[in-house]
Homo-oligomer: A and B are copies of this chain.
């Protein structure tokens, strides 16, 4: 089970390897949000998303003989790249099982980071677990799950340790912290870190319409599931339901979630380009979209949004900045 101590131990292993990403702001975004808005730019993390933290935490926690045998992960892309780069740096073989409809850039990057990529047909209903299981059984690989893994949650939680310090240095001790939420690994890890280090900062998940399983779960008090497996531009955070390990943390620590539309995510992407000079992918812009376009759902005179990733194809990005700027 992930604890604050596990997060702090992960932070020690990540030191000098993960980037301490900046907390950015712009007076133009403050004006739209109606309050002070701070953006944790995890798109500037190695491999372009926070997932590098969890990948590094998990691979570095393995016993040497397991690490040598290798790791396997399934992922729509960002977890894939995070695990691949972490494994490569540790000299561990990595096999990544990816949906064939994941963005091309993410598949290419994962291969270029030295991983063996196996594609499966997500849209056609093929089961990724059925693809992954034999790799574990026959090749002795260790499965690194995208969110339901104590070390992965601990690695993502190191983002929260940084937010606590950076917000304090800017004089912000009371604020909602909006986190783009898929299975809840980052959201629960950050919530656990902030519970210990900045109790005035409250985590709230942000999810796209139709894929707001965590938002609805928090509302009903029990695990809810999305109707469809895919169909939002926010491809990085389309997870059917909160995880077995993340849900107890989410339900204990999070404030109410916020649901955003695909267009709001794309508009937030465009504004992050224009005002913060960062590249954010649609799923990575969900929290920023919530901060900018749902100000009435947020309390307090400051808000923090985590921009979780920046791995977006150039045509989607160009279309968004052309349409919204």
Contact = CB atoms under 8 A, between A and B. Distances in A.
A277 B48 contact: yes
Interface in A39-58: 41, 43-44, 48
Copies in the complex: 2
B321 A274 contact: no
Contact of A278 (B112, B277, B321): B277
Nearest to A317: B321
Interface of A: 19-22, 24, 27-28, 41, 43-44, 48, 85, 105, 109, 112-113, 270, 273-274, 276-280, 310, 314-315, 317-318, 321-322, 325
Nearest to A315: B322
A20 B113 CA distance: 29
Given A279-B279, A318-B322, 9 more contacts: A19-B24, A21-B22, A43-B277, A44-B276, A270-B314, A273-B279, A277-B310, A314-B321, A314-B322
Contacts of A318: 317-318, 321-322
13 contacts: A19-B22, A19-B24, A22-B44, A27-B85, A27-B113, A273-B279, A278-B279, A279-B279, A314-B321, A314-B325, A317-B318, A318-B321, A318-B322
Contacts of A310: 277
Contacts of A109: 28
A267 B19 CA distance: 25
Given A22-B21, A28-B112, A278-B279, A317 B273 contact: yes
A48 B26 CA distance: 10
A318 B48 CA distance: 20
A85 B28 CA distance: 12
Contacts of A279: 273, 277-279
Contact of A274 (B270, B314, B315): B314
Contacts of A315: 322
A85 B26 CA distance: 11
A325 B21 CA distance: 26
Contacts of A325: 314
Contacts of A322: 314-315, 318
Given A21-B22, A22-B21, A112-B28, A105 B317 contact: no
A48 B192 CA distance: 33
A-B interface, 4 closest residue pairs, ranked by CB to CB distance from nearest: A277-B310, A318-B318, A277-B279, A314-B321
A181 B131 CA distance: 53
A264 B105 CA distance: 22
Contacts of A28: 109, 112
